[in-house]
């Protein structure tokens, strides 16, 4: 009798227990590791940009309410990450390989959209710092909003991926999402 390890990655649905963990997956699993590395790179860009803006502009006290209102408006765009439409369920009748690839594509698109919405507060602050106030204060405000929103709303943690998988499978069709994320398919 074949054990799951000896079978094709699609002969049984994998679950969150197959996830090697956030940081380990970056080194060992090509699909989920790439999504997570991209998310960490976007998250890491925010403090790096903040430091550069502080070095260039300084943190002077001459800032305007409009300059702070613009990055604060980034709260609205980060809030859009919560208001995104529900993920449509997987259509039945497709091969596991095709279903898994579609599920991964949807996860990647949703993750990138959420990351961009959450990072927008920092980008609004960057523009406001240079165009309105000539101080790093708006950038720092936007960066603070982004640095809180991104981990909470956008990083593809095990729990976030599992919620996404459950939404894909809510009509009962298996998505094979974890199979593709951690095993990268098999022969078609």
Express each pLDDT in 114-150 by its tens digit: 999 999 999 999 999 998 888 898 999 999 999 999 9
Contact call for residues 180 and 18 (beta carbons, < 8 A):
no
Domain boundaries, the chain: 20-183
Burial (CB count within 10 angstroms: exposed 0-12, middle 13-18, buried 19+), residue 26: middle
Q: Under the phi-then-psi rule, with left for phi > 0, alpha for psi from -120 to 50, and beta for the rest, what region is 85? A: beta
The confidence score (pLDDT) of residue 185 equals 46
The confidence score (pLDDT) of residue 71 equals 83
Give the Cα-Cα-Cα angle 177, 149, 88 (nearest 5 degrees): 35
Give the Cα-Cα-Cα angle 169, 170, 174 (nearest 5 degrees): 20
Residues 150-164: pLDDT tens digits? 999 999 999 999 999
Tokens of 120: 């927008």
Burial 65-84 (b: 16+ CB within 10 A, else e): eebbebbbbbbebbebbeee
Q: In this structure, how many other beta carbons lie within 10 angstroms of the beta carbon of residue 148?
A: 14
Contact call for residues 150 and 129 (beta carbons, < 8 A):
no
pTM, 2 dp: 0.84
Tokens of 150: 């991104």
The beta-strand segments (E) located in the chain are none
List C-alpha distances in Å: 108 to 13, 104, 181: 20, 6, 11
The confidence score (pLDDT) of residue 11 equals 63
Contact call for residues 114 and 151 (beta carbons, < 8 A):
no
Q: For the chain, which residues score pLDDT lower than 70? A: 1-13, 184-188
* Euclidean distance between CA atoms 141 and 132, whole angstroms: 14
The confidence score (pLDDT) of residue 45 equals 96
* Euclidean distance between CA atoms 93 and 37, whole angstroms: 32
């Amino acid at each position: 009798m074949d054990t799951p390890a000896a079978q094709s990655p699609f002969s049984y649905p994998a679950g969150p227990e197959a996830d090697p963990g956030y940081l380990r997956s970056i080194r060992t699993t090509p699909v989920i590791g790439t999504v997570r590395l991209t998310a960490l790179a976007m998250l890491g860009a925010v403090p790096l940009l903040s430091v550069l803006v502080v070095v260039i502009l300084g943190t002077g006290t001459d800032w305007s309410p409009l300059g702070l209102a613009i990055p604060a408006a980034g709260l609205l765009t980060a809030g859009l990450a919560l208001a995104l439409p529900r993920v449509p369920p997987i259509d039945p009748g497709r091969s596991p390989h095709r279903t898994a690839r579609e599920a991964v594509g949807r996860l990647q698109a949703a993750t990138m959209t959420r990351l961009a919405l959450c990072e927008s507060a920092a980008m609004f602050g960057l523009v406001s710092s240079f165009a309105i106030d000539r101080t790093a204060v708006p950038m720092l405000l936007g960066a603070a909003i982004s640095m809180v929103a991104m981990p909470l709303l956008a990083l593809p943690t095990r729990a976030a991926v599992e919620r996404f998988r459950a939404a894909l499978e809510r009509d009962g069709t298996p998505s094979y999402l974890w199979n593709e994320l951690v095993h990268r398919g098999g022969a078609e």
